[in-house]
Structure 1
Amino acid sequence: MIRLATVIDTFEADFLAQYRDQLTPDHYRALAAMKHCRTQASPMMQVKCTACEHQKLVPHSCGHRHCPHCQHHESQQWLERQLKKQVPAEYFLLTFTLPAEFRTLAWAHQNVVYDLLMSCSWETVRTFSQNDKPLQGTPGATAVLHTNTRRLDYHPHVHLVMPAAVVDGKQKQWRTKPRGKAKGGYLFNHKALAKVFRAKILAAIETAGLTLPARYPQEWVVDCKSVGSGESALIYLGRYLYRGVIQENDIVACANGQVSFRYRNAKTTRRERRTVSGAQFLWLVLQHVLPKGFRRARNFGFLHPNCKHVIALLHVLLKCVPGQTLAWVKQRAPILCTCCGAVMAIVRTRIPSPFTGQLPISIAAEGNP
């Protein structure tokens, strides 16, 4: 496995020379964090064996949400929270894609456009749920923003995982959509979803005071497919939620000024390889760093964190035990003693490292830690 920190060490100078004009403070912070993740330059934690009293210092992970080398535990915690909120209904995965003509606008105003992309996606499914004859109520959805394709190109889109069910607050009823005769179930017409989504986001962009592109397509793309109980879709979304856009075991080569990585082609489902220069590879990774403080995962409707009592009541009334699905969740791997193999306990954290390392020049210049 080739670590991202190794790639940064090798190509950082070339990357900064070529892409400095496109970088923001968020990019510099991510670059510095991932470069020093779990190295001798990062803070240390002291661990002690519970059996033989052996002690040692272990480097901290950087904790950056875009680092592929850490945040595994946070991803598992998020997945566990979502699985605990499952309800007995057929789940659907909806994908709302922003056309290519809007990517320049999205890049220039990331906070605004990403927020509108998520809110308009939710408003679209909420409108359809309220107007749908079998449902007629408020749905629940888990939304995750992705900005990348599997080839790591810039491609903003939102995934929504939602059960075909609603809560009618006025009538105090729980309604689910009956399964259709078609294989895989049916929720809403994807072409109708695309039309409403298009109208909502165009109006929202204009209301926000942004200028629409001179040209954009009349027909947009929204995908809607059944995902059964929803477990597989939630696992897929959680995989890259806190761990960047690429797994380190997919970086297969780093030599001769180039980096090769593998990905799965969505159309053919076959593994393919892409080779680019080292500087371009770092840009492909770092261009997907989100603005500081932006929440890329959000819950809406009756799945919102403020509706915990509603979920608990539904579980009782519907005799649903979501905990049975938590076998998917992996526990955090313990630190084992190299002497006897026993579990080691953390006794002290954030010990300054004697190897401070060098931060990128632009970071030091801006006074960032």
Structure 2
Amino acid sequence: MTDSLCWRIKTHLQWTGWLQYIPNVTAVLLSFLLACLGGLVAGQVLFCPLALLSCLLLLILVFDLCTVKCGLRPWEPSPARCDDLDAFDLMRKRRSCRSFQARSLSTADLGELMECVQHETDPSRLLGSCPIRLDYVAAPLTVWPVVGGHEFLVAIAPREYSREAVIDVGRCLQKAVLHATRMGLATCWIGPGADHESVMKHLGDRFNPSNDHIICICAVGYSSNYIPASIRLIQRVQRNRMPLSALFFAGPCLQEPLAVHLHPWSQYGRCYEVCQWSPSSFNGQPIRCVGTASGKRFDFYTATQSRFYAPVALGIWLANWETGCAALGIRGRFQMLTQQERAIKGVRWLSDDSPRYDVSWLADDK
């Protein structure tokens, strides 16, 4: 009963937008308690600095509540476009935005973004055969930890599970995210932090529970500089990434790191880097890649058994990989190969718990 009550309280605070302020409140109360105890033990020697710290933390909390929760903030300008950046710098520039301005996208920005969405979700551009949608919703959906988000792209796949469709969701939505970044817009991928009941409510007749399945959503809009202190801390922690040696390998056993700085793999340059910095749920980085000796084929694996978040993360990797290859002038295509076509023999350790192969990238012959 206690666990159930705690969970309900946590969920209520999360969906009402108060959970991100609990760490601030806890820090204020704890520092004030320590100041009182320090005053009793050592007098003003401990009380004064701890009381000062408590007041500082209280000011930060009040500032966050006023500017973020209550929206009492100065006007913020629209960000500039990033048309001068090359593909790699653009992908590295993109960050998950946790706080958005209250104003909506301009008609021109929304039109350009949705034109990109329609282009990327065209059936002829998908890897799989199942259609997917990226529906635009202008409503304050119940999400966490994003604050101020009121415009979203909702990724919808068929109700009947198709792994290829989930991969296509990640790939197509990431292409739209990259275009939004070039436009100067802010974005934030949201998976488990979205209340699907809220999403379905605002989709209305566009969502059919019998045929549709919500994979994830992406907040989009103009970024705000006013972010709760606790979320700023989360962002700093999530900036860590695994080294390339733990992501790219020279064989299907995923033991020997790929020598990405040696020929022929070095020709792919920063493609490795932009995949390394691809977003993923909880920053889990569940994707692995095997480069063949010829440097003309790369096999992509998912390292977890997740049916949704890992394939979405893979789709994001694929979008960044092909965008990078296109920028380098390296033509190629994605194709799902059999184990025989990949010439994998005698790899006995492959099991249900092992990394799962999904798709390969094949470079065109020059």
TM range (shorter): under 0.3
TM-score scaled by length of structure 2: 0.23
Relative contact order higher in (CA < 8 Å, ≥ 6 apart): 1
The structure with the greater share of residues assigned to strand is: 1
The structure with the greater share of residues assigned to helix is: 2
TM-score scaled by length of structure 1: 0.23
